[in-house]
Amino acid sequence: MITALLNGTPMPEIELDFIDAPIENATDVITLDGGIYTDFTNQKKEWTFNYESLTKAQYDIIRAVYDSQFSTGNYPTLAIAYYGFSGSVRMYINEKNIWNNCGDVQGVEIRFREAV
Q: Global pTM?
A: 0.78
Write 108-111 long-range contacts (CB < 8 A, 24+).
108/49, 108/50, 108/51, 108/53, 108/54, 108/59, 108/62, 109/48, 109/49, 109/50, 109/51, 110/48, 110/49, 110/51, 110/62, 110/66, 111/46, 111/47, 111/48, 111/49
Mean pLDDT of 17-41: 86
Cα separations in angstroms, 29 against 37, 38, 114? 5, 6, 26
Q: Evaluate if residue 15 carries a pLDDT over 80.
A: no
Question: What would the pLDDT profile of 70-103 be if each residue is shown by its tens digit?
Answer: 999 999 999 988 888 899 999 999 988 877 777 8
Local confidence band at 17 (pLDDT 50, 70, 90 cut-offs): low
Q: Evaluate if residue 64 carries a pLDDT over 90.
A: yes
Local confidence band at 20 (pLDDT 50, 70, 90 cut-offs): confident
